[in-house]
Structure 1
Amino acid sequence: MLPLLAVFGCFTLYFLGYKFYSGYLSKSIFQLKDTVGDTPAHKFNDGVDYLPTKPAVLFGHHYASIAGLAPILGPAVAVIWGWLPAMLWVVLGGIFVGCVHDFGAIVVSIRNQGKSIGQVAQDLLGPRARSLFHAIIFFLVALAMGVFVIVLAEMFSADPKLKQAPVTSPPKVEQTQTTPSIKDHVHPSEVRVETPSSPIKLRSHFPEAVIPTAGIMVFAVLVGWLHYKKGMKLGPLTFASVALTLVVMVLGMNESILSWTGLSDIDKSPGVPIWKIILLTYAFLASVTPVWLLLQSRDYINSFLLYLGIIAIYFGFVKGSIFGEFSSFNAEAIRTEKVDMDIIPFVFITIACGAVSGFHALVSSGTTAKQLDREIDARVIGYGGMIGESLLGLTSVVACTIGFASAGEWSSFYKSWSGIQGLAPSVGAYIYGTGRFISQLGFDESFAQGFIALVVVSFALTSLDSATRLLRYNIEEIAESFGSEIVKKTLGNRYISSIIACIAIGFFAFLQIDQGGKKTTAGLALWKLFGTTNQLLAGLALLVISVYLLYSKKKTWISFIPMVFVLGATLWAMVINFYDFLFSKSPSYLLAAVGGVLIFLTLWLLLEAILAWRRFSKA
């Protein structure tokens, strides 16, 4: 019953955090107003980026934008150090760091005409700070979305070895031949033999998610057009779009339909990365279209899939726990065996989302603040949305520990840092575990895992399209700092800036590194670099919030203490990563150069902040 009690305790902390701490922030610190017409969405309404939006719709858009692949992937890797550190950081970090960060970023932006966090940094810290922020944001978004494109391309492609095989539990680690029971989730006729030294393989290819993913895009365009241009009510449109999405999901899982469409074989040639090209093309199109036509409505539809998925995961987990199926974590609370990377500081970096994420500051100040109808809505969307992401991160901690059928299975998969087998297999571990949870509700395990695969893919794509638009904003803001009108006009064009954004993302998506004399995608290496960059931006966003509170004569401790912790852990990890990139057995001088530049930019920005803090303190 320990897993059930632990999860129940986490839910209690979420409830108390939202009810009391977010209420304190809303009333005593930020003093939000409950009036219409005061937000940038009303003052600068242009129907493209600034648009007053109903709280339910905006929550869905915001939640889908932040709750992408990262809060699943980070904890799925971080449980290698044990379930307890990952769970504590996801829950407590979410309540006291991540929620404050997201909530504060929205408030600071709406109080500064809907400006992004980089522009606000200029107002508070000076023009040099703005340029430094823009450089860090550029690296962060390009890195993160490069990783997402790598993982999505692998998930969409078909693995010939597994294409015909159902998604079932991997072999259980046993020392002798045994005949498995139905409880072990294998056919009774199978006999399993495996030693702890041979790592299990989990499925990482889900081409059946392609058809429903494409269907969501079509439904999103229709919903946006019918609601905003034809005035149709949102309720019937929501029900129809979600129902149709589930229908095409079932169709997409049909092997004959996949073969007929050719989606099973679209990326069979390893020399032709078709899916990466398709994904980058989609990111460009999503970046240049009006926010109401695709981005907002797609995120809104996706949010219901995520709500449904999280509810099903937790209900299945509770039912299985009550009836004894999930009675243990199948992993150590804190792993005693040393792995390749130290738990401190890297657990705070590997879980780059789910606890706190600098990317959220970009979403909060880049798109959400431009659509906020009333200031008071910032509480449920900012603080509440981050709790929702932390809940998603918690499902990853639970699925990647309790979701394994045995402790032997878990230790076989998480044998070492390099033995995790890449980022996509880590997502496969999440899909496998959550599929086992949902199967407790009476669904076929293959169907349950197909549904979770759709949820994972959908939210990775929402992050990709939102982030590409945010990178476009960043490039346009960089253009404004140039004196040349030609540069401003050229880079200020949303088509040109979107092309530049996609090229930057594509650079990391196609980047390969040498690993033991073999060229391979830079997935795990990029994730380490993304994690440090992401947490770095989170710390710097908390710094901007702290300076804003100081300037406004408010209590600064609510953001200053989290800022010191996040920046301290991040700089520690950045220095270690920089050394490893330079002096490991397979050095990567390009990634070392990127890491070195980020360290330099961070120290410079901290100096600017200290000078600004002294100015405000004296004033």
Structure 2
Amino acid sequence: MQSIMIVMFGIIGMLFGWFVYSKFIAEKIFKMDDTFVTPAHELNDGVDFVPTNKVVLWGHHFTSVAGAAPIVGPAIAVYWGWVPAVLWVVIGTIFFAGIHDMGALWASSRHQGKSMGALSETVIGKRTRALFMIVVFLVLLMVNAVFGVVIANSFVANPSAVLPAWAAIAVALVIGQLLKRKVPLVPLCIIGVAILYATIYMGSSMPLALPTEMFGLSDKANWIVILFIYAAVASLLPVWMLLQPRDFINGMQLLVGLILLYGAVFVVMPDITAPAFNTQVVAETPSIIPLLFVTIACGAVSGFHGIVSSGTSSKQLDKETDGRFVGYLGAVGEGALALITLVAVSGVMLAMSPEQWHEIYSHLGAGSVGAFITGGSNLISSGWGISAEVAATLLAVMVVLFAGTTMDSGVRLQRYIIQEWGDIYQLSLLKNSIVATLIAIGCCLLLAFGAGGASGSGGMIIWPLFGSTNQILASLTLLVISVYLIKLGRSAKYTLIPMSFVLLMAFFAGVIKLQEYYQQGNWLLVVLDLIVLVVSVLVMLEAWSVITKYHRTKAVSSSAQ
């Protein structure tokens, strides 16, 4: 029965965020204007800048930012107890993530679709851009390298997910062509989702797998190579051809998945077996503060969202007011996924007793995606009468498709960053999209195989840095938005307050991790962590200098009048 209370608390909170808080911010603070000519129209090139239906763009944005993170983070953080995890997901979605994502989308669209890195130069200064882009590139490298491993592991562990995952790409290509020819969206959506679910059913009875060894590599390593080849091709295609329709279909698939999961909660009304506050954590478990706030990133607030908002979504915004629907509602969707993940990994559908739950969650990091798939599939099976095997395939495909769309967008965004470096340093070779893509893929594969050997798991080596680095990036994005608002003469407290909290938690977590890496003798992570911490301090000092100078100039101007 406690699960109903959790769900109702989250739904009511997020409805308030959508209907009240986001409306206030969009109209009174950002002052979104339908008459403003968005970059999608001003710079329409049919490849990256393309005016897009807001529902289709929401699908792209939502599935690009979601990935597997709103499942992984909450499924790990519940170890500290479900109460703090639920509070951070709900409050973070309403007052942090929604404003961060919508704000990045709005600020970028007001500056010709510039990425947050390029935008930081316009708003704060040249040095800030160089510093900002270091953090952005590191986050993208981490996400792409690790999500390749996550998908490969899922394919190996759940071969029933292989057929529907690749079938979704074929369906998206067809839908992209039909949308280009003005075929109505609704019937295409229904048909596309129906085909996807038919392949999920087929996949559960027709699993596909690579040979355990091929070309001297394991099946997992071969999947990693195949996935990056696909991501390279996908990132070069026009957004309307694959990225938009695939992400939209995935978004619809997630909506169906959320309906099944939330509906099952109301039917079954499962009890919660996880502790509200876990008092039985093992001795070496890090403190809940600040680690909770970097463990749950996507689903509460995430710097990666700002990269997507300003990297791809802002270039496809048809009307500026669509930014609220795409940005804030995208964050709400992700918060809803994080919330139902917490229910799935906390209830009797995962463990029938508190003792069994503690066996599954024996330490921080246990449970994770496996716990979500097990708990979620049992919940769907009990609520809807669907076989547990089909339900497990459905959820495994959800994880794979989300991680895959994040990889698609992530590689495209890496390409943008490299091309921007070409512009900054006048290196014409880097401006070439094919060269930039090859460099992006090369960096990911170098990390995957250079640091991880033949297993291809090298990205996992720097993944422990992701939490603090990602949240520092979120705070820097909120900082850029705040400085822009101050320059416009508008109130910046709605972005400065969440920025200050996230920065404090993330910086504190980064310092704790730095000590941990030093004690382990992990010098690569020591160096990277130090770089991120120093860069964040320098960006904050640059911003403070700009704000101080702005207020001083304004004061002098006022006294002169």
Q: Which amino acid aligns with 1:547?
A: V
* 1:305-363 per-position Cα deviation (integer Å, ceiling 9, x unaligned): 00000110010111110xxxx12x21111111344211111000111211001111011
Distance (whole Å) between structure 1 residues aligned to residue 456 and residue 161 of structure 2: 25
CA RMSD of aligned residues (A): 1.9
5 Å-filtered alignment, 1:398-477, equals 398-402=343-347, 403-406=349-352, 407-417=354-364, 420=366, 426-439=368-381, 440-477=383-420
Give the corresponding residue for 2:430. Answer: 491
Please state if 1:591 is matched with 2:525: yes
Equivalent residue, structure 1, for 2:91: 92
Q: TM-score, length-normalised on structure 1?
A: 0.85
| Letter of the structure 2 residue corresponding to residue 534 of structure 1 | N
**Is 1:278 matched with 2:226?**
yes
Q: Name the structure 2 match of 1:369.
A: 314
1:177-188 aligned at under 5 Å gives the runs none
C-alpha distance in 1, partners of 2:332/2:305?
A: 13
1:341 is the counterpart of 2:286: yes
Q: Conserved in 1, the CA contact under 8 Å of 2:295 and 2:467?
A: yes
- Report the identity percentage: 39
Q: Which residue type is aligned with residue 92 of structure 1?
A: I
Contact 2:204 2:389 in 1 (8 A): no
Q: Say if 1:125 and 1:410 are closer, same or farther in 2 by CA, change over 3 A.
A: same
Correspondence for 1:544 = 480
- From 459, 463, 468, the equivalent of 1:532 is 468
TM-score after normalising by structure 2: 0.94
Residues 169-568 of structure 1 aligned to structure 2 (within 5 Å): 205-228=157-180, 230-254=181-205, 257-258=206-207, 262-263=209-210, 265=212, 270=218, 273-321=221-269, 326-327=270-271, 329-339=272-282, 340-402=285-347, 403-406=349-352, 407-417=354-364, 420=366, 426-439=368-381, 440-483=383-426, 487=427, 489-510=428-449, 521=457, 526-568=462-504
In the alignment, what sits opposite 2:542? Answer: 608
The separation in 1 between residues aligned to 2:360 and 2:315, in whole angstroms, is 44
2-side partners of 1:384 and 1:3: how far apart?
23
Mark the CA change 1:432 to 1:365 in structure 2 (over 3 Å): closer, same or farther. Answer: same
The question of whether the paired residues in 2 share the 8 Å contact of 1:513 and 1:588 is answered with no
**What is the distance in 2 between the residues matched to 1:505 and 1:513?**
11
User: Given the superposition, is the C-alpha separation of residues 531 and 216 from structure 1 closer, same or farther in structure 2, using an over 3 Å criterion?
Assistant: same
Residues 76-103 of structure 1 show CA distances to partners (whole Å, capped at 9, x for unaligned) of 1111111111111111011101111001
Cα distance in 1 for partners of 2:169, 2:394 equals: 17
Q: Distance in 1 between matches of 2:193 and 2:355?
A: 39
1:182 equivalent in structure 2: none
More divergent stretch after superposition (450-459 vs 234-243): 234-243
Pairs within 5 Å for 1:25-174: 25-35=25-35, 38-157=37-156
Q: How many residues align?
A: 546
Residue by residue over 1:391-425, the C-alpha shift from the partner in whole angstroms, topping out at 9 and shown as x without a partner, is: 1111111111114222222211211136x2xxxx6
Query: Aligned partners of 1:451, 1:43: CA distance in 2, in Å?
Result: 41
Task: Write the letter of the residue equivalent to 2:119.
Answer: V
Could you tell me which amino acid in structure 2 is paired with residue 436 of structure 1?
N
Distance across 1 between alignment mates of 2:451 and 2:82: 32
Letter in 1 for 2:203: G
AA partner of residue 455 (structure 1): M
Secondary structure of the corresponding residue to residue 114 of structure 1: coil
Distance 1:597 1:139, change over 3 A: same
TM-fit CA distance, 1:437: 1.4
Task: Confirm or deny: 8 A CA contact 2:149 2:456 kept in the other structure.
Answer: no
Contact 2:212 2:219 in 1 (8 A): no
Go from structure 1 to structure 2 and tell me whether the alpha carbon gap of 1:266 and 1:156 turns closer, same or farther (over 3 Å shift).
Answer: farther
State the AA in 2 paired with 1:461: G
Q: Which runs of 5+ in 2 are unaligned?
A: 554-561
- Whichever residue aligns with residue 407 of structure 2, its letter is L
Distance 1:294 1:315 in 2: 31
More helix by proportion, 1 or 2?
2
- Structure 1, residues 218-268: CA drift from partner, whole Å, max 9, x if none? 11111112221x3322223222221111111122112xx43xx55475779
Structure 1 letter corresponding to 2:14: Y
Contact 1:511/1:521 (8 A) holds in 2: no
Quote the offset at 1:12 in angstroms.
0.7
What do the CA deviations read for 1:357-380 (whole angstroms, capped 9, x no partner)? 111101111111111111111111
Distance apart, 1:446 and its partner CA: 1.1
Aligned residues of 1:104 and 1:545 also touching (Cα < 8 A): yes
Judged with a 3 Å threshold, the aligned counterparts in structure 2 of structure 1 residues 300 and 617 are, in CA distance, closer, same or farther, namely same
Aligned: 1:7 with 2:20: no
Classify the secondary structure of the residue corresponding to 2:315. Answer: coil
* Cα deviation, residue 114, structure 1: 1.2
Distance across 1 between alignment mates of 2:153 and 2:402: 15
2:449–2:457 CA contact under 8 A, matched in 1: yes
How many angstroms does 1:570 deviate by? 0.6
In structure 1, distance between residues paired with 2:122 and 2:165: 41
Query: CA 1:264/1:456 → structure 2, altered by over 3 Å: closer, same or farther?
Result: farther
Write the distance in 2 (CA, Å) between the matches of 1:19 and 1:72: 25
